[in-house]
Homo-oligomer: A and B are copies of this chain.
Amino acid sequence: MNRAEFDVGARLRILREMHGLSQRELAKRAGVSNAIISLIEQNRSSPSVGSLKKVLDGLPISLAEFFAVDPAPRPRVFFNADELVELAGGRISYRQVGPDLAGRALQILHEHYAPGADTGEAMLHHESEEGGVVIRGRLEITVGDQSRVLGPGEAYYFDSRLPHRFRNLGEEECEVVSACTPPSF
């Protein structure tokens, strides 16, 4: 296994910034001094596991997640979306963002649901996680035994092993951008 050097400081800084926290805010949540967070992020101090755990609890993420690394893909760049795909007799259409399925880490779809569009009663489920944002219109999302109607700017995220279903109950077309981890068919 490729045992690359693990940059504790850089990782902590990125995670903290992604959570929109200042060093002092995180320090307060974690119950440590702000100075030590600065020093750790500069790799001027190698935190004890105990204090690193306290800091991560402030985010909160686990030690396992902190140290987990993803397998490295090859550098690729793609602009624009693939061709339009139509489902449900044209009532649902989407474009896939990025390269074709093989080897991707992400599947991103730009979807359009016509009024009345429905992914169907036989609810989908697959081994991945999935989320999205409603851009325009209203969409009913049913996951497991929960159901919600989302409008523009609202969002969802779920474990796609749960059976799920999407329906446009309104009079207006609904537009959604969604993403999921690569489906393992």
Chain A residues close to B by CB (< 8 Å): 1, 3, 6-8, 10-11, 14-15, 18-20, 46-53, 57, 59-70, 72-81, 83, 85-86, 95, 97-106, 108, 110, 126-133, 135, 141, 143-144, 146, 148, 150, 153-159, 161-162, 177, 179-185
Chain B residue at minimum C-beta to C-beta distance from A86: B20
| Contacting pair B8 A148 (CB below 8 A) | no
Copies of this chain in the oligomer: 2
Q: A60-B102, A127-B69 are in contact. Are A14 and B183 (CB under 8 A)?
A: yes
> Could you give 22 example pairs across A and B, Cβ below 8 Å?
A10-B185, A14-B126, A15-B101, A19-B101, A48-B48, A61-B102, A62-B69, A70-B181, A74-B159, A75-B158, A76-B158, A77-B158, A78-B158, A79-B148, A79-B155, A97-B131, A97-B132, A97-B133, A105-B128, A106-B130, A108-B179, A110-B153
The answer for the CA separation of A8 and B20 in the assembled complex, in Å, is 30
Q: Which residues of B contact A102 (CB under 8 A)?
A: 59-62, 65
Closest approach, in angstroms, between the C-beta of A133 and any C-beta of chain B?
5
Q: A108-B179, A131-B106, A177-B133 are in contact. Are A97 and B156 (CB under 8 A)?
A: yes
Closest approach, in angstroms, between the C-beta of A113 and any C-beta of chain B?
15
| Contacting pair A18 B101 (CB below 8 A) | yes
Closest approach, in angstroms, between the C-beta of A134 and any C-beta of chain B?
10
